[in-house]
Chain A
Amino acid sequence: MQGFYTLFYKEMLRFWKVSFQTVAAPVLTALLYQLIFAHSIGQHVEPYPGVSYSAFLIPGLAMMSMLQNSFANTSSSLIQSKITGNIVFLLLPPLSHMEFFLAYTLAAVVRGFVVGVGVIVVTLLFAVPPFAHPLWMLVFGLLGCGVMGILGLIAGIWAEKFDQLAGFQNFIIMPLTFLSGVFYSIHSLPPFWQNVSHFNPVFYMIDGFRYACFGVGDVAPWLSFGVVGVTFLLLSALTLHLLRSGYKLRR
């Protein structure tokens, strides 16, 4: 338990020590998106009845930032430890696979939440969503950041070089997050792309979070919860298996 706690704390301290890059920068990016998109598109559309585009954008942007930063936390920490070699200091102690897994994942969730709160606070200048179901917000925040933190773990374990990690990010994480309805309701897409979106777990994270904010979404919250929950469990099982097998970490 002490091992888990120490690693969790270290992982949080690691991003907090450079919070200018890890928290302030993504909040600023989200603020720019909000400014530009709300201003250029905002006047012309009303995604849901009674919900302005400015307001609509807030949970999407917040969740996107949370997801990206959760992924970044685990993946960048692991790849740096592997490349500099200081991962040995984690491999020599008697940390269990579960401790390792939980510490990294939870620290990623914490970073996601810190960024998420930052994004929501600054975007409140533009519109105030009703925050209809706070408990659902928490659930989708936790599961979404958890899934992406775990994906970051997998990517960090798998990648041997920074450019492999960048590839994972550019060809898997970015398309999944951008094609998930952050900037639009998928009902505005042609039917084919609507169908494709339904295979993207990130869509359910965003839509679930948006439902939690407004009380309306593209699909029912329980469906989103089911898809995201199952994704979380499957990826957790896969990651624990990788850790137990020593894949790429213990040769």
Chain B
Amino acid sequence: MTAIVFDRVGKQFGNFTALQEISFTVEQGDFFALLGPNGAGKTTLISILGGLTRASSGSTTVMGFDVQRDYRAARRAVGIVPQELVFDPFFTVRETLRFQSGYFGIRNNDDWIDEILAHIGLTEKADTNMRKLSGGMKRRVMVAQALVHRPPVIVLDEPTAGVDVELRQSLWAFVRSLNADGHTIVLTTHYLEEAEMLCNRIAMLKQGRLLALEDKDKLMSRGASRHLLIKTASTGLPAALQPLLASQSEEGFELRLADCNQLESILVELRQAGVGLKDIEITKPDLEEIFVEMMNQ
């Protein structure tokens, strides 16, 4: 079964169009990245998925349940971590998680709550008031809140914004293990290397339109100019190689390769010109470059 189906989803705020006929699916088991610059409509799309916002047109289903008609089943199937950092200052971490379990109809959820707390490193803080947690800790409680009902689909809207590196890593390790256990994961992030590292499929959104939707590997090979970084013993670059020069810095020369087979002829040129090599490195294009390229189209 398909985990999420967006079918021609549109959203107007007054006469502003936030989303335009968005259609795509997320398969079960996917680790899916939703990318796009600020204001692209990522949060709006996720809000429609969670029933926080109503689409102006089109339909959305989660695990086969329509988010409008079958809202109760749809909401049980998905756990959403909202983008904004919010909390209820009246309660402790454990109270917060117990209440959230209760809203999903679950009693006596403490075993699972303890397990989540251990995974996100908040066991010590279980009985601390939400007000007294740091921003990163509050963010982790929000992740826990989205997991109390063990949803098959988990959506994280920029979960690592403002979270320090160490924490980010432990969070991703946890989310990865959830994915390995069969949970479908959707995430939006500004850190493209995160999407590159974690996700298998990627959708790019810009101004409410879907620009790209592909397997990550395909997307990465598409924009595929590779870069070769060489450090030479002397300062010059043979004339024959000048057309390939992409940039030059203290690091050395950066050459753009259309494909890897060019490498051989480059080395030949260098040897013939008597230029000695101190270091050599080939870089793949990263998601960021592809992203920037697509957003500029």
Contact = CB atoms under 8 A, between A and B. Distances in A.
B102 A92 contact: no
Contacts of B91: 10, 13
B105 interface: yes
Interface in B257-278: none
Nearest to A87: B86
Interface in A118-170: none
Contact of A93 (B75, B89, B98): B75
Nearest to B71: A94
A251 B54 contact: yes
A86 B86 contact: yes
A88 B86 contact: yes
Given A17-B90, A86-B87, A92-B50, A5 B103 contact: no
A1 B95 CA distance: 19
Nearest to A251: B53
Interface residues of A, number: 27
Contact of A92 (B51, B54, B73, B101): B51
Nearest to B78: A92
Interface string A1-23: 11101110110011001000000
B105 A3 contact: yes
A1 B101 CA distance: 13
A6 B103 contact: yes
B134 to A, nearest CB: 17
Given A85-B84, A94-B75, A6 B54 contact: no
A114 interface: no
Interface string B96-132: 0011111111110000000000000000000000000
Interface in A75-131: 81, 84-86, 88-96
Given A86-B86, A250-B51, A92 B80 contact: yes
B52 interface: yes
A95 B105 CA distance: 9
A7 B103 contact: yes
A246 interface: yes
A250 to B, nearest CB: 6
B106 A88 contact: no
B145 interface: yes
A13 B129 CA distance: 14
Contacts of B80: 92
B86 A84 contact: yes
Contact size class for B? 20 to 34
A194 B106 CA distance: 53
Contacts of B75: 92-94
Given A86-B88, A88-B86, A6 B50 contact: no
B88 A94 contact: no
Given A3-B104, A89-B100, A93-B103, A250 B88 contact: no
Nearest to B86: A85
Nearest to B85: A85
Contacts of A9: 102
Interface in A206-220: none
A101 to B, nearest CB: 15
B152 interface: no
A10 B84 contact: no
B73 A94 contact: yes
Contacts of A13: 90-91, 95
Contact of B53 (A6, A94, A250): A250
A30 to B, nearest CB: 25
Nearest to B142: A89
Contacts of A94: 71-73, 75-76, 103-105
Contacts of A85: 82, 84, 86
Given A89-B145, A251-B53, A95 B103 contact: yes
A93 to B, nearest CB: 4
A210 to B, nearest CB: 36
Interface in B226-270: none
Contacts of A92: 50-52, 75, 80, 146
Nearest to B72: A94
Interface of A: 1-3, 5-7, 9-10, 13-14, 17, 81, 84-86, 88-96, 246, 250-251
The 3 closest A-B pairs by CB, nearest first: A6-B102, A93-B103, A94-B72
7 contacts: A1-B105, A7-B99, A10-B99, A85-B86, A93-B103, A94-B75, A250-B54
Interface of B: 13, 50-54, 71-73, 75-76, 80, 82, 84, 86-91, 95, 98-107, 145-146, 149
